[in-house]
């Protein structure tokens, strides 16, 4: 087994649950690749060749039109995985996967993903859980964009990075700039700045240079939802 790769993947629940033979297969086939900020990790309309995990950094799932306008579905911080639905269906990718900042990305080839799905019950159970949780997250995102005010949309964009199953390694101090929050929420940097100020006044977060400390995660999750 590739010892260094195994050590790097050990904190991921799905890898830790695999049998030794399947761990060895993963270590032999998975790739770790560096992407610069703004780089496309996967493009909409291309074959879904890999299951995508974030070793370090931050990525987003989004779609763009020919004029460059975009809509963001979700941000994925370190420890998170995405793209399993397209890989399972062997379909063309339905959204772009973009590095919000310089990121180290795990790429598990689709064929190896399907082999694990067929042979490993723990892996299958993990993937089913991922699909279920992500469906709920996407429904919440659509709800938030259509029904919530801007301040609440910013609060929910931050809170979603703390999903206990999808993103279990997110620290309470987020190294996020206002621009990056804007990229995740689809809101201008200037408007994000105003929203963060209001959330800080409510003692939900604390703002420092290039970072945000979450002081009240449950309060952040509830912010703006009482009116729904």
pLDDT tens per residue across span 75-112: 899 999 999 999 999 999 999 999 999 999 999 999 99
pLDDT average, residue stretch 193-206 = 95
Band of pLDDT at residue 209, cut at 50, 70 and 90: confident
pLDDT digits (tens, 9 = 90+) for 6-54: 999 999 999 999 999 999 999 999 999 999 999 999 999 999 999 999 9
- Across the chain, mean pLDDT equals 90
Query: What's this model's pTM, rounded to 2 decimal places?
Result: 0.83
Give the whole-angstrom CA distance, residue 72 versus residue 30.
27
Check residue 227 and give its pLDDT: 63
Structure tokens at 173: 């101090």
Span 115-133, pLDDT tens digits: 999 999 999 999 999 999 9
Task: Please report the pLDDT score of residue 97 as a whole number.
Answer: 95
pLDDT (0 to 100) of residue 211 = 85
pLDDT band at 66 (very low <50, low <70, confident <90, very high): confident
What pLDDT band is residue 225 in, cutting at 50, 70 and 90?
confident
Residues in the chain: 228
pLDDT at residue 158 greater than cutoff 70:
yes
pLDDT band for position 1 (cuts 50, 70, 90): very low
| pLDDT given at position 2 | 62
pLDDT of residue 228: 61
Average pLDDT over residues 182-196: 88
For residue 32, the cross-strand partners are 106
């Amino acid at each position: 087994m590739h010892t260094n790769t195994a050590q790097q993947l050990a904190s991921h629940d799905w890898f830790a649950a695999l049998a030794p033979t399947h761990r060895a297969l993963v270590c032999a086939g998975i790739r770790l690749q560096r992407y610069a900020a703004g780089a496309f990790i996967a493009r909409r309309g291309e074959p879904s060749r890999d299951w995508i995990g974030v070793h370090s950094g931050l990525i987003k799932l989004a779609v763009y039109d020919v004029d460059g306008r975009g809509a963001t579905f979700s941000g994925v911080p370190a420890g998170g995985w995405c793209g399993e639905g397209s890989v399972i269906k062997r379909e063309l990718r339905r959204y772009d996967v973009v590095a919000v900042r310089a990121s180290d990305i795990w790429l598990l080839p689709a064929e190896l993903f399907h082999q694990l799905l067929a042979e490993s019950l723990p892996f299958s159970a993990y993937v089913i859980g991922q699909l279920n949780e992500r469906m709920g997250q996407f429904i919440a995102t659509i709800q938030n964009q259509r029904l919530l005010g801007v301040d609440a949309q910013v609060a929910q964009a931050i809170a979603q990075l703390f999903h206990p199953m999808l993103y279990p390694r997110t620290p309470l101090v987020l190294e996020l700039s206002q621009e990056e929050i804007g990229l995740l929420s689809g809101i201008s940097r200037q408007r994000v700045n105003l929203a963060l100020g209001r959330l800080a006044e409510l003692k939900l977060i604390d703002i420092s240079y290039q970072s945000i400390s979450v002081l009240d995660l449950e309060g952040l999750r509830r912010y703006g939802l009482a009116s729904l």
